[in-house]
C-alpha cells in the first residue's frame, strides 16, 4: 500500500458508513497531494519516466508552436508587451524551442514576458534551468498573471490532467461512479445517485444515451476555462491547447493510469502513476463559444503542424543531418503527424483548439 493510498482510505473512513470519494477528488490527490502527489515528487517525462510528450520527441514540435505564437503576436499588431502563459510546461522543452526559433522575429523577444503555470516543485527546478535566459515568472493559479498586457496562452497535454468525474447511464438514469473501500480493503468503483452540481455539467446537446454510456465531466476544466476566457476577454489575446481526445458528443470511459510507459489500473499505486482522461473537444468547443470567444478548430495535430510547415522544417533539418539523424527526424515526424495505429502516433489522436477575443484574427494552422 502506498502512503497516499493509506491517506485516501483514511479520508473515506472518516466520512462514516457508506463513505466515498468522488473520482475528481481521487484524481486530484493522486496527482497533486502536497507530499505524495505524482507531479509533486518526480520528473515523469522521457524514457526514464512514465510517458513521453511531443516536445520531448522532437525540437520541431516546439518550433512550430513558436511559429504560431510569433505569427499570432504579429496579427495582434505586434504589441510592445505580450504575456506568454504556458500551462503545464513540463521540462520547459517546448518553450525553449519556441523561444529559440523566434529569436530573429523583429521585436518579439523584447515584447515577451514569459509566465508559467506549474504546481510541481520538481519540474519548476528543471524549467528554471531550461528557461534561465528568458526571465520567467511562475504561478500556481492563472489569476496571479499580470493584468496590464494582452496575452497568448499555450497548453500541451494540460487539459487531460484536470480531474474528471465519471457518469454512467443506467436503467434508473445517470449515476456517478465513486471510490469506495471494498470488504477486502481494496479501492473500487461504485455507483451512486447524481448530485445537482455534477448533473449541471452534462452537456445540453448530448445525443440520447444508451444503457452503459459513459460521460466524463470536470468541474476543474470548467473552472479553468472560465478563468482563462475571462482573462483573455479583459486583456485581449488568444489561447492554444493541444491534447488527445474526441470530437464525439459522448467521449466514453477514458480515465487511465500510466506507469513505466504502460497502462495500469487506476487503483494499483495511487500517487505513483499518471492519471489522465481524454478531452471531449465537442463539449470544450461549446463551453468556449458560450464565453463569447472566437473559436478555431478543433483540428487534428497532423493538419495543424503540417499547415504551420513542419514538413518543410524536417526537410531543412535533413540537409544538415547525418544519415542516422535523418532516420531520427523521419521517425519523429511520423510520430508527431502519423495516423493513430496504436504505436504512439499522435497525428489524429491529438486535437488542437484555439480561441481568441478578436474575431478579425485568422489564427494559423486551422485552415
The CATH code that applies to domain 39-162+217-356 is: 3.40.50.12710
Q: How many CA atoms lie less than 13 Å away from 347 in the CB half-sphere?
A: 19
Q: Where are the alpha helices (DSSP H) in 76-190?
A: 93-101, 108-111, 121-130
DSSP, res 134: G
- Which pLDDT belongs to residue 199? 83
Gap between the Cα atoms of 309 and 295, Å rounded: 22
What integer pLDDT is reported at residue 49 of this predicted model? 75
Mean pLDDT of the chain: 94
Cβ neighbours around 335 below 10 Å, total: 18
Characterize 301-331 residue by residue with b for buried, 16 or more Cβ atoms within 10 angstroms of its Cβ, and e for exposed.
bbbbbbbbbbeebbeebeeeeeeeeeeebee
E strands present in the chain: 21-22, 82-87, 112-117, 137-139, 151-156, 165-170, 173-181, 187-193, 214-217, 237-246, 256-259, 262-264, 274-276, 279-280, 294-300, 350-356
Q: Does 326 sit behind a cis peptide bond, omega within 30 degrees of 0 on the bond before it?
A: no
Q: What sign does the CA torsion over 238, 242, 243, 249 have?
A: positive
Least confident of 81-90, 122-131, 241-250: 241-250
pLDDT in tens, 153-192: 999 999 999 999 999 999 999 999 999 999 999 999 999 9
State the number of CA atoms in the 13 A half-sphere of 302 facing the CB. 11
| Per-domain boundaries in the chain | 39-162+217-356
Copy the grid coordinates of residue 166. 465519471
Q: How many CB atoms lie within 10 A of CB 195?
A: 11
Write down the pLDDT at residue 198. Answer: 85
CA atoms within 13 A on the CB side of 202: 22
CA angle 156/157/160 to nearest 5° reads 140
Phi and psi at residue 190, in whole multiples of 5°?
A: -135, 160
Rounded CA gap, 32 and 161, in Å? 10
Length of the chain: 367
Question: pLDDT at position 352, please?
Answer: 98
297-314 confidence digits (pLDDT tens)? 999 999 999 999 999 999
The rounded percent of the chain whose pLDDT value lies above 90 is 86
Average pLDDT over residues 90-103: 97
Residue with cell 482573462: 231
Encode pLDDT of 333-363 as tens digits: 999 999 988 888 999 999 999 999 999 999 9
Beta-bridge partners for 203: none
Block residue for cell numbers 502536497: 34
Q: Is the pLDDT of residue 251 over 70?
A: no
User: Residue 317 contacts by C-beta under 8 Å, 6 or more apart in sequence?
Assistant: 60, 325, 329
3-state secondary structure of 76: coil
**Of 209 and 72, more confident:** 72
Q: What is the mean pLDDT of residues 210-227?
A: 94
Is 45 in contact with 184 (CB distance < 8 Å)?
no
pLDDT digits (tens, 9 = 90+) for 8-31: 999 999 999 989 999 999 999 999
Q: What's residue 228's pLDDT?
A: 98
Q: What phi and psi, each to the nearest 5 degrees, are found at residue 184?
A: -90, 15
| Per-residue pLDDT at 13 | 96
Specify burial of residue 17 (Cβ count, 10 A radius: 0-12, 13-18, 19+): exposed
Amino acid at each position: 500500500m502506498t502512503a497516499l493510498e493509506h491517506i485516501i482510505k483514511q479520508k473515506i473512513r472518516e466520512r462514516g458508513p457508506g463513505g466515498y470519494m468522488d473520482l475528481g477528488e481521487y484524481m486530484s490527490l493522486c496527482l497533486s497531494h502536497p507530499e505524495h502527489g505524482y507531479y509533486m515528487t518526480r520528473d515523469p517525462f522521457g524514457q526514464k519516466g512514465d510517458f513521453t510528450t511531443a516536445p520531448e520527441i522532437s525540437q520541431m514540435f516546439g518550433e512550430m508552436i513558436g511559429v504560431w505564437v510569433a505569427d499570432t503576436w504579429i496579427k495582434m499588431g505586434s504589441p510592445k508587451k505580450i504575456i506568454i502563459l504556458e500551462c503545464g510546461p513540463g521540462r520547459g522543452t517546448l518553450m525553449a524551442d519556441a523561444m529559440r526559433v523566434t529569436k530573429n522575429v523583429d521585436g518579439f523577444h523584447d515584447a515577451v514576458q514569459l509566465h508559467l503555470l506549474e504546481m510541481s516543485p520538481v519540474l519548476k527546478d528543471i524549467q528554471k534551468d531550461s528557461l534561465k535566459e528568458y526571465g520567467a515568472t511562475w504561478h500556481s493559479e492563472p489569476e496571479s498573471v499580470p493584468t496590464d498586457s494582452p496575452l497568448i496562452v499555450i497548453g500541451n497535454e494540460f487539459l487531460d490532467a484536470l480531474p474528471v468525474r465519471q457518469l454512467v447511464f443506467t436503467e434508473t438514469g445517470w449515476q456517478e461512479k465513486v471510490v469506495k473501500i471494498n470488504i477486502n480493503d481494496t479501492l473500487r468503483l461504485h455507483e451512486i445517485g447524481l448530485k445537482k452540481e455534477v448533473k449541471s455539467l452534462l452537456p445540453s446537446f448530448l445525443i440520447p444515451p444508451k444503457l452503459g454510456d459513459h460521460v466524463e465531466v470536470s468541474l476543474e476544466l470548467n473552472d479553468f476555462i472560465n478563468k482563462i476566457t475571462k482573462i483573455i476577454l479583459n486583456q485581449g489575446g488568444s489561447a492554444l491547447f493541444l491534447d488527445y481526445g474526441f470530437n464525439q458528443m459522448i467521449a466514453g470511459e477514458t480515465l487511465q493510469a500510466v506507469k513505466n510507459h504502460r497502462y495500469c489500473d487506476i487503483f494499483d499505486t495511487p500517487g505513483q502513476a499518471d492519471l489522465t482522461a481524454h478531452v471531449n473537444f465537442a463539449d470544450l468547443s461549446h463551453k468556449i463559444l458560450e464565453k463569447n470567444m472566437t473559436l478555431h478548430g478543433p483540428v487534428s495535430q497532423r493538419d495543424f503542424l503540417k499547415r504551420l510547415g513542419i514538413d518543410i522544417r524536417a526537410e531543412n533539418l535533413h540537409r544538415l543531418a547525418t544519415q542516422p539523424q535523418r532516420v531520427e527526424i523521419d521517425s519523429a515526424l511520423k510520430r508527431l503527424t502519423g495516423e493513430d495505429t496504436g504505436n504512439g502516433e499522435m497525428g489524429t489522436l491529438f486535437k488542437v483548439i484555439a480561441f481568441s477575443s478578436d474575431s478579425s484574427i485568422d489564427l494559423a494552422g486551422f485552415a
